[in-house]
Amino acid sequence: MKRKIEQMVLKQIRNPMPVVVGASAGGMAALKELVAQLPEDFPAPVFVVNHMGMHTTGEALVNVLNGSGNLPCAQAHDQQAFKSGHIYLAPSDQHMLIDNGKILITKGARENRSRPAIDPLFRSAAVAYGNRVIGIILTGYLDDGTSGMMAIKRCGGVCIAQDPEDAAYPDMPRSVIANVGADYCMPIAGMGALLSELVTRELPERTPVPEDIVIEAKIAQRVLSDLPSVEALGHQVPYNCPDCGGVLWQMEEGSLLRYRCHTGHAFTSSALLAQQTVKVEETLWVALRMFEERQNLLVTMSKNESKQSPSSISQRAKDSQVHIDRIRAMLKATGKDLHGEKTE
């Protein structure tokens, strides 16, 4: 009898039905509503990535979730064994992955300009647990989570998207619905009952995981980060990674365009465009500073030149003002682009 119980426990550890959740802007309120619906005996672990700033501890969200529902919530730790009926939150500035009944916390390259990012968690879950994974995408800007949800779908898992009409910021669920096709699209209020039903279902045997998903999951673990692994995923394009300057490879997943560099940075086309715009603005500010400093130096030099000297220093200072005005105009236009791309 004791041996039978041990085997059942071991089976539960090896074959949980993990629930992976991704959220961004508006995530705290959405996650609070979701976890409040989960019963105390919920028979699955829940893993949450909520975009946060580098210097945000995440403790505020942990406290909110602990005070909102029946399941204990804590920030995840590297090599931590996970258990059903617990919520694990990705820590600030680190990716959270799952593998073989354990949590992996890595300092891998940013994906979609974020760390923690949603895609690495979703892919790792798809590789480790295949058709047992339940993925949920909630409110947020842009499209982090779309590629990861596609991996879950391709491995036979379940895709749940918040109804965009129910989301404070509908970009992320809308992208999943358009590019992946959600198995369930609903308001958060209905997700608790659905999850309680899904985690008890009988499942068929797992099918092999597609090789490209395995490669990307290994890159997130920093097991792979080289040219051959990235070349196996796509073809080289004439753009550079805005984060490290490396060459980018383009990958096509249905209608979703994605890009990777060999050091590990990854972007959807929307995230790449947004990050390029940020880098353009940074470059323009540097150029503005240098032209203003040059003009100031020329003005100082012109005050010290001989009145009888036909020097062109004063004219050069005036010419610098033309360049300064042009750069200021470009910065104003770039600012409008940044606002339109909803940077987080």
Catalogue the active-site residues.
Answer: 24, 51, 144
Residue 39 token pair:
């019963």
Rg, the chain, Cα only: 25
Six token digits for residue 267: 């972007």
**How far is 145 from 169, CA to CA, in rounded Å?**
14
Take residue 127 and report the two structure tokens written for it.
Answer: 């590789």
Cα gap 63→243, rounded to integer Å: 33
Give, in degrees to the nearest 5, the angle at Cα 172 between 169 and 177: 120
How far apart, in whole angstroms, are the C-alpha atoms of residue 154 and residue 149?
9
- 10 Å CB burial of residue 5 (0-12, 13-18, 19+) is exposed
